[in-house]
Structure 1
């Protein structure tokens, strides 16, 4: 047999088939290898600097953002703490400012009165021509301080007229005289008056008669004395109580209850002094002062010594303005009376008003005025002089103070009969003085 022999064409087709198979296998192997590397190296073998830097910046940005957030939170907390601390400091500074302002106010009030007047008036004046110069007489009033007694302040706002009023202290020992007192005040038409009640009986009496009344808060040691004491005890107590009225900025016409009101006293006040008081004097010399010559023959050529005399102010009826000297007067008198209960308030009142400064003692620098003794009349002037003089009996006083006589209530009623009801013989039954 003869073997089959392939031709060139067949050999060529076989080689081509084998080549295609190898290429296909290589492609498959390459694809598999590519998949493996793609899985193992998703970013490839060669990562660009741009990508690295970008990733780094992104990571850094996140870190920085977190860092900034933490830092901002800490900063806010720190600022809050600083704000709280500064607020506390500010509150403390405000408190200190208020305290310093109050101290400054008190210091200003305590300055020499001439300096205060200078500050109030402004530019310091020059002395004018001879005979034209007049010194300052009216001291400035204090700044009202309502914190002293808020309850009393509200009462005074309703009762006072032009920041002034009549004030009387009373307990049940003077109940009958008090009724005569406020009955005539009402009759005259005076509205600005107030009774400081020292016990419940007086409070009820005033309330039942529509009389303005102020019952003080309990103050043991002071009020217990006022409830049971007589005229002199109550008279001494008034200096301490009056201080609050002045501190609140009100001028007070202090009145005992043994007084009959015939006219409105506010129409006759001058108001140019710290204290304006009625006198215990009975004529021009005793009421307004005089040159009394003291004779001592043993001195030979110098036997005559001149002295200045004036009868005392009556501490049961005086007008007092809310000034520093006036408040100092009340403090001085109240202190001396508390230290020496046996002292007489009227004597102490006058000593503090009139005694000048001397070694070991600083006198009170207060301006004072004596009231017209015919208008603001004491019972000595009335019963010893006026009722026996037809010309003087025609004068209508502003008030009659029954201070010289112990039989006060019947004489008060007689004054009402004489001046109000026109009974001409109403005063005749009474002696000039007292029976004892």
Structure 2
């Protein structure tokens, strides 16, 4: 009995304590709500005297020192942000914004399988001020703002005759010879061939005097720039080429550069999967690579776009600094090498032309002339680029494809004699 009474008293006592705690918490909440600043709030705000600006009063707001510091920090951040934007622009890292400005509005993505990226870059705005004399000539010569252009000096006069005769034969009228000496000017005029000679620039005069084929080949990139600035597409042609069809009927015009290839079959011309073997690596000894044979810098179609002009500028710049470089190697490196640390690659669209239509002399003499079916096809051009005996082989090409002499190609070896 005694134990039960003691437990009952203990239970009542604990309930009183719990009740007192609850009442205390409620009172605190009520007073906190009714007197948020306490029982003894000063009747006037506390005055804080600053040594530099006397008589400035602050109440519940931030102090002037704090406000000034925040404003200074914001100004500093804005300045830093502006500097970053400027540096990004200078470093060429705002390419996305630039492309939006050039290409126009953004577009929504269509259904699966229907999405196609932009294939053709817009052409530049023509600037006739760069060469008014050439601009007037191109107005007369070009057709549809495009033409064939070739550089020539006296050393290639015999091949030049086969070149322009074949062009006339297929009905092409929009072509132009850039003469590197006065003898070629007179020779072209005598044969009713459109000709243009630049002013007496030192680099052109030296190339004309030397007659060096590689020097002439490198010079064309320098000269081509003005044609593109004037808004014309150019089919750049070496002289060791025989035209058998109108090349303008076989271009796609969907890229910045369309070029014939040094490749001789589907793999070498259009790309193939190759591998590098390093046995020391064991399981990973084979590293796969993607390869393509070089574009031929002696025959390519180039449109007047920003990437095209940038390509020419890059090639000219490198050749001017290292004259011993081969222009075709530089042309391909700048066209294909991707961006990597310390180097920004060229963003240019490119197309490889059909190697049976735009045929190099390796394809002709090593393969086509030995195949009865392939012999019946007439290519658009034949470029005698693989062989040093260019003139006799050009004559043989004319005999075979134009005059129908079936054994005209038989006497030549597959390769060169040395």
Q: TM-score range by the shorter chain?
A: 0.7 to 0.9
The answer for the alignment partner of 2:312 in structure 1 is 330
Contact 1:226 1:237 in 2 (8 A): no
Give the SS at the match of 2:203: coil
Contact 1:277 1:317 in 2 (8 A): yes
Give the SS at the match of 1:132: coil
Cα distance, 1:127 vs. partner?
1.1
The answer for the alignment partner of 1:34 in structure 2 is none
Distance 1:111 1:183 in 2: 49
Flag the 1:379–1:260 CA change in 2: closer, same or farther, 3 A: same
Flag the 1:113–1:263 CA change in 2: closer, same or farther, 3 A: farther
Cα distance, 1:146 vs. partner?
0.1
The answer for the alignment partner of 2:194 in structure 1 is 212
Q: Deviations over 1:364-390 (max 9, x none)?
A: 111100000000000000000000000
Select 2:145's aligned residue among 138, 163, 171: 163
Distance 1:274 1:353 in 2: 10
* 2:231 matches 1:276: no
Give the SS at the match of 1:252: strand
Cα distance, 1:226 vs. partner?
3.1
Distance 2:140 2:222 in 1: 23
Structure 1 unaligned spans of 5+: 1-106
Contact 2:127 2:231 in 1 (8 A): yes
The answer for the alignment partner of 1:379 in structure 2 is 361
Distance 1:116 1:214 in 2: 37
Select 2:330's aligned residue among 348, 360, 363: 348
Q: Deviations over 1:346-371 (max 9, x none)?
A: 00000000000000001111110000
How many residue pairs match? The answer is: 328
Contact 1:246 1:321 in 2 (8 A): yes
Give the SS at the match of 1:136: coil
CA RMSD of aligned residues (A): 1.5
* 2:247 matches 1:265: yes
The answer for the alignment partner of 1:222 in structure 2 is 204
Flag the 1:175–1:363 CA change in 2: closer, same or farther, 3 A: same
Select 2:225's aligned residue among 220, 233, 243: 243
Cα distance, 1:116 vs. partner?
6.0
Contact 1:251 1:319 in 2 (8 A): yes
Cα distance, 1:224 vs. partner?
2.0
Distance 2:140 2:93 in 1: 32
Cα distance, 1:121 vs. partner?
5.1
The answer for the alignment partner of 1:310 in structure 2 is 292
Cα distance, 1:114 vs. partner?
6.1
Q: Deviations over 1:400-431 (max 9, x none)?
A: 00000000000000000000000000000000
Cα distance, 1:229 vs. partner?
2.6
* 2:416 matches 1:422: no
Structure 2 unaligned spans of 5+: 1-88
TM-score, normalising length: structure 2 = 0.76
Contact 1:375 1:399 in 2 (8 A): yes
Structure showing the higher helix proportion among its residues? 1
